[in-house]
Amino acid sequence: MGGFSVVKATLVSGLLILVFFFLGESFLNLMGLDISSFAIAGSIVLFILGLEMVLGWDFFKGENNAKSGVIVPIAFPIIAGSGTLTTVMSIKSLYHQYNILIAILINLIIIYIALRSLNLLERMLGPSGILVIRKFFGVILIAIAVKMFRTNVHF
């Protein structure tokens, strides 16, 4: 991933997180949704992304617009997906706003460093190593999706 793409993915992710931090609950209320419904919908998307990684199928087709290639699927739903957005909105009642904003900034710095390191990691691991890691983290993503779903489904 090129340097500009990494910066763009990080900035767009940060912007999405901040918008949801400040306006997310109001936006969901306007749409008649609650945080649990948003989290369940997001868990389904994460589940499908995990299946893509494990099975090697393409459920989400890439956009023909090259400009959106960084935004979807990297910035949203991977980095600033429903899990992140739901968490940011939910922890507002637990921690001071400034602490959460500092945590978001630190998270974005870590994301930037991780994205910048992808080419090096790819060269070190090779195609088969990348395939193994992709499948492993696909299973992890599926497990996270199942946990999000189970936590937010109330019968």
**pLDDT tens track for 13-33:** 899 899 989 998 899 899 999
User: Could you give the CA distance from residue 80 to residue 111 in angstroms, rounded to a whole number?
Assistant: 11
Q: In which domain, by residue range, is 11 found?
A: 3-152
**3-class SS of residue 153:** coil
Write out pLDDT tens, residues 90-145.
Answer: 788 788 999 999 999 999 999 899 888 888 888 898 989 989 998 999 999 899 88
pTM of the model: 0.73
Give every CB contact of residue 103 below 8 A, 6+ residues apart in sequence: none
3-state helix, strand, coil in the chain (%, to 5): 85, 0, 15
Sign of CA dihedral 86, 87, 88, 93: positive
Q: How many domains does the chain have?
A: 1
Report CA 14 to chain centroid distance, whole Å.
11
